[in-house]
């Protein structure tokens, strides 16, 4: 056996953690159809059979409905395709090849189809030549179906697997989330893309923004994913593996320390209480939130309700989901955000709508106010569920005063309707808004009077302030969380809210950055909400600092001119003033310069972190 | 085993749509049925195979059947081919 050279790639750390394992390539439809080997050819044959049966049914159904709507001339196309799919002689041959060659069905199908296509291309008969399209259509359906079914079998991934792909969608990750000891590495995506948020939420270590690398890595390669430093290490050397084993051990040690903080509140050394809450994507994360010791749920995103369906979730489905979370959280507050759909979150959901700029488009509250029937189902489900715990309703994407007032009126309408139906509701259900559009921050004084709390969505606020698409590969450098404009907006939000004695939360990714957390506390933010993995870390940070010290740091940062200047100031000043939290920062903070590097230099990042192990051992 | 060579009288040759009829007809028989043209031999019950055959040049095809209903099979398929594939 020849030892392969270690290759280190620097990506963006999307979700913390370390996986030492082997790769599993996740091919997408438009990816080339490669002769991937299959471990279990019998299973592959079964999957192939059910895929074919499914395709045949689908094509027959299409044919029937096309016949009714457009006549036989068009339906015939689908009949021809259904017949190709139903070619038993042909399919038996594919099955034989799967068993003999142990290769994936879609590759073999394509391989055989190419032979026919080559023949048809020689033909003089244009009608016959057109059948090439039919064969392509069936092949691509098969690829989609096979890969779709493999999504499901991803559930059974063995231990220590790193899924490599150009990109992953939230539903891909959802399908994989049952695997233990799973990580992923993708080519595209920024640190706050929905896939990254979901990985974080599910505790799956992830590195993204690796360019072409993940696509070119075959299944079965030895790999390490370092979700702390954003490193993707192919064919790691024995030394590197040893280092990472050490790092995993140190990670466990820190975890142990953080466990001790679970039952303790987050109070600064000079006695200021900061609420540390958790964001969730799925109701089943509640138990993790509770065991992490969060004082509530700061953001329950409700978009997941759409992930596995193409229509709107019903009142009952929604009520069940909301009530479940509220009941489980008991006395602890739960902030549920109304649908924040649109943008990158619902690909294909409204296929008929074309938006050249979806982030500036018909999304979130804009959609809801235009579709009051849909919105009211959600609001009624929320209000009814409010009897099960301490609900707070959060409205996303408010950009002007009227939207807030209209929304409040609709909520009142829903309340009146429910009460008319003799549903008894709590007297007061707090209503807050997301501050994520700069125009809302600029009129925060007006808005503060009308709401019970603000929640700053830093991901979108930064994106809209600096005009940078947060998922843009080329621009992640310009997506600056410490941009002085961002700091000023946060400061202004806090000032307006506190004037009316309303609390301010930060529920974006920024709350999960230890340096930023200190800054946010210093800016007067009352509550930090991040993924549950961050709960212990944030508590440790708050308990290690003083409010007065953080205020000074923030005041100074507000006078600075650039992101870089502020970031380096925070690094140095926090290390100087609050040395206790440096190990935590080293372990959790992402490196800020994503660039593709192959050199050994990036190993220094690992050495920095392994030193934590030594200090925590002592 | 029964064999018969038939000439294709269809102006357009053995093309895909009629090929489908041929496959449907062939599938009704228990016998194994092969179609042969030049050097290419395909299973008459496979649309992919028959399309491949259709693309081959040549005016004759050989129908070969083997099984309990081989005689009827060859007869029926010869009729489909010679009956202009029931041009629509």
Give tens-digit pLDDT for A358-391.
Answer: 788 888 999 899 889 889 999 999 999 999 999 9
Among A547, A563, A579, the domain boundary falls at A563
CA distance B7 to A296: 82
Q: Which residues contact A109 (CB under 8 A, 6 or more apart)?
A: A48, A94, A139, A142
Report which DSSP code applies to A85: H
- Tell me what pLDDT residue A611 has: 30
High-pLDDT (> 90) share of chain A, % = 51
Average pLDDT over residues A185-213: 78
The per-residue pLDDT for range A503-562, each reduced to its tens digit, is 999 998 899 899 999 999 999 999 999 988 889 999 999 999 999 999 999 999 999 999
Disruptive mutation site among B24, B27, B46 for chain A (greatest number of A CBs within 10 Å): B46
Mutate to test the interface with B, among A85, A123, A142 (most CBs of B within 10 A): A123
Has residue A431 been placed in a domain?
Answer: yes
Strands A504-506 and A527-531: what pairing? parallel
Helices (H) and strands (E) counted in chain A, each on its own, are 25, 16
* Between residues A447 and B76, the one the model is more confident about: A447
Question: Does the CB of B21 have a partner CB in chain A at under 8 Å?
Answer: no
- Is the CB of residue B25 less than 8 Å away from at least one CB of chain A? no
Of A45-59, A495-509, A580-594, which range is least confident? A580-594
- In this prediction, residue A618 carries a pLDDT of 28
Question: Pick from A120, A154, A188: which residue ends a domain?
Answer: A154
Q: What is the CATH number of domain B2-83?
A: 3.30.1340.10
Read off the pLDDT of each residue in A477-484 and give the average, rounded to a whole number: 93
Q: Which residues of A are catalytic?
A: 194, 507
**A192 plus A140 within the same structural domain:** no
Tell whether A452 and A543 lie within a shared domain: yes
The predicted pLDDT at position A154 comes to 57
> Residue A158 pLDDT > 70, yes or no?
no
> Range with the lowest mean pLDDT among A185-194, A452-461, B19-28, B40-49?
A185-194
Residue A199 inside a domain? The answer is: yes
Residue A533 and residue A474 share a domain = yes
Chain A residues with CB under 8 Å of B47 CB are 83-84, 87, 90
> Residue A220: which CATH number?
3.50.30.10
Run of H or E residues at A149: helix A126-153
CB A491 within 8 A of CB A560: no
Residues A97 and A192 in one domain: no
Average of pLDDT values for A281-294? 90
Residues 6+ apart with CB under 8 A from A200: A14, A15, A16, A206, A512, A531, A533
Number of domains in chain A: 3
In CATH, what number is assigned to the domain containing residue A391? 3.20.20.60
- Domain span at residue A203 reads 7-28+166-250
Question: Does residue B11 have an active-site annotation?
Answer: no
What is the model's pLDDT at position B88?
38
Exposed, middle or buried: residue B78 (CB in 10 Å: 0-12, 13-18, 19+)? middle
Tell me: pLDDT of A347 over 50: no
Q: Which residue of chain A is at minimal alpha-carbon distance from B32?
A: A89
Q: Are A105 and A51 in contact (CB under 8 A)?
A: yes
pLDDT at A462 (0 to 100): 96
Helix axes A372-385, A315-329, angle to 10 degrees: 30
pLDDT computed for residue B71 by the predictor: 93
The whole-model pTM stands at 0.57
Q: What number is the average pLDDT over the span A424-428?
A: 94
Q: How confident is the model at residue A617 (pLDDT cuts 50, 70, 90)?
A: very low
Which of A154, A182, A206 corresponds to the end of one domain?
Answer: A154
Is the Cβ–Cβ distance between A483 and A466 less than 8 Å? yes
Quote the CA–CA distance of A456 and A435 in Å, as a whole number. Answer: 5
What is the pLDDT, as a whole number, of residue A14? 86
Chain A residues within 8 A (CB-CB) of chain B? 76, 79-80, 83-84, 87-90, 112-113, 115-116, 119-120, 122-123, 125, 127-128, 130-131, 135
- Does A260 have pLDDT greater than 80? yes
Where do the domains of chain B lie?
2-83
Q: What is the CATH number of the domain that holds A45?
A: 1.10.274.10
Q: What is the mean pLDDT of chain A?
A: 84
Flag whether A614 is in a domain.
no
Say if residue A509 is in the same domain as residue A405. yes
Do A444 and A516 fall within a single domain? yes
B43 touches chain A (CB under 8 A): yes
Q: What pLDDT is recorded for position A585?
A: 78
In a shared domain, residues A449 and A397 = yes
Judged by CB atoms closer than 8 Å, whether chains meet at A87 and B47 is answered as yes
Q: Which pLDDT does position A355 carry in this prediction? A: 73
The closest of A610, A517, A588 to A228, measured between CA atoms, is A588
A581 in any annotated domain: no
């Amino acid at each position: 056996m020849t030892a392969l050279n270690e290759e280190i790639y620097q990506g963006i750390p999307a979700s913390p953690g370390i996986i030492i394992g082997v790769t599993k390539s996740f091919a997408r439809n438009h990816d080339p159809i490669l002769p991937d080997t299959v471990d279990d050819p019998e299973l592959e044959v079964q999957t192939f059979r059910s895929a074919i049966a499914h395709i045949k049914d689908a094509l027959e159904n299409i044919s029937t409905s096309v016949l009714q709507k457009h006549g036989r001339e068009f339906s015939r196309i689908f009949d021809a395709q259904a017949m190709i799919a139903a070619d038993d002689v042909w399919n038996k041959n594919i099955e034989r090849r799967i068993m003999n060659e142990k290769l994936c069905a879609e590759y073999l199908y394509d391989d055989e189809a190419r032979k026919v296509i080559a023949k048809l291309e020689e033909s003089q008969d244009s009608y016959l030549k057109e059948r090439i399209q039919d064969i392509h259509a069936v092949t691509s359906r098969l690829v989609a179906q096979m890969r779709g079914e493999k999504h499901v079998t991803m559930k059974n991934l063995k231990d220590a697997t790193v899924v490599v792909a150009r990109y992953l969608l939230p539903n891909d990750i959802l399908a994989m989330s049952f695997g233990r000891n799973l990580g992923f590495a993708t080519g595209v995506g920024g640190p706050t893309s929905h896939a990254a948020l979901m990985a974080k939420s599910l505790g799956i270590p992830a590195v993204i923004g690796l360019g072409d690398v993940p696509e070119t890595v075959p299944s079965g390669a030895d790999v390490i994913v370092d979700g702390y430093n954003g490193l993707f290490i192919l064919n790691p050397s024995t030394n590197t593996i040893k280092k990472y084993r050490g790092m995993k051990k140190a990670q466990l040690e820190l975890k142990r320390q953080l466990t001790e903080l679970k039952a303790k509140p987050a109070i600064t050394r000079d006695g200021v209480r900061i609420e540390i809450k958790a964001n969730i994507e799925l109701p089943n994360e509640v138990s993790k939130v509770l065991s992490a010791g969060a004082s509530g749920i700061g953001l329950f995103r409700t978009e997941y309700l759409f992930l596995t369906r193409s229509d709107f979730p019903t009142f009952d489905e929604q009520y069940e989901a909301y009530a479940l979370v509220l009941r489980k959280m008991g006395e602890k507050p739960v902030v549920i955000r109304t649908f924040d759909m649109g943008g990158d979150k619902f690909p294909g959901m409204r296929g008929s709508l074309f938006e050249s700029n979806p982030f500036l488009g018909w999304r979130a509250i804009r959609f809801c106010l235009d579709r009051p029937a849909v919105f009211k189902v959600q609001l009624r489900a929320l209000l009814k569920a409010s009897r099960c715990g301490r609900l707070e309703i959060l409205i996303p994407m408010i950009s002007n005063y009227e939207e807030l007032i209209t929304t409040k009126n609709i909520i009142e309408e829903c309340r009146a309707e429910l009460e008319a139906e003799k549903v008894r509701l709590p007297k007061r259900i707090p209503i807050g808004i997301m501050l994520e559009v700069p125009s809302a921050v600029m009129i925060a004084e007006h808005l503060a009077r009308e709401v019970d709390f603000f929640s700053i969505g830093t991901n979108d606020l930064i994106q809209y302030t600096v005009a940078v698409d947060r998922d843009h590969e080329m621009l992640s450098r310009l997506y600056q969380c410490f941009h002085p404009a961002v700091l000023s907006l946060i400061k202004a939000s806090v000032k307006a809210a506190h004037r009316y004695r309303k609390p301010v939360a930060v529920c974006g990714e920024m709350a999960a950055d230890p340096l930023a957390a200190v800054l946010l506390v210093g800016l007067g933010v009352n509550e930090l909400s991040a993924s549950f993995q961050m709960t212990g870390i944030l508590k440790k940070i708050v308990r290690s600092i003083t409010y007065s010290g953080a205020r000074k740091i923030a005041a100074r940062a507000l006078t600075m001119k650039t992101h870089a200047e502020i970031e380096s100031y925070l690094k140095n000043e926090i290390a100087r003033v609050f040395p206790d939290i440096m190990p935590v920062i080293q372990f959790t903070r992402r490196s800020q310069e994503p660039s593709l590097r192959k050199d050994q230099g990036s190993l220094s990042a690992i050495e920095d972190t392994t030193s934590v192990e030594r200090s925590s051992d002592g | 085993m029964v064999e018969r060579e038939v000439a294709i009288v269809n102006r357009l040759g053995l093309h895909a749509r009629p090929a489908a009829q041929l496959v449907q007809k062939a599938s009704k028989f228990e016998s194994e049925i092969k179609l042969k043209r030049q050097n290419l031999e395909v299973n008459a019950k496979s649309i992919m195979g028959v399309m491949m055959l259709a693309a081959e040049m040549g005016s004759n095809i050989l129908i070969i059947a083997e099984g309990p209903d081989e005689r009827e099979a060859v007869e029926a398929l010869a009729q489909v081919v010679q009956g202009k594939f029931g041009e629509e």
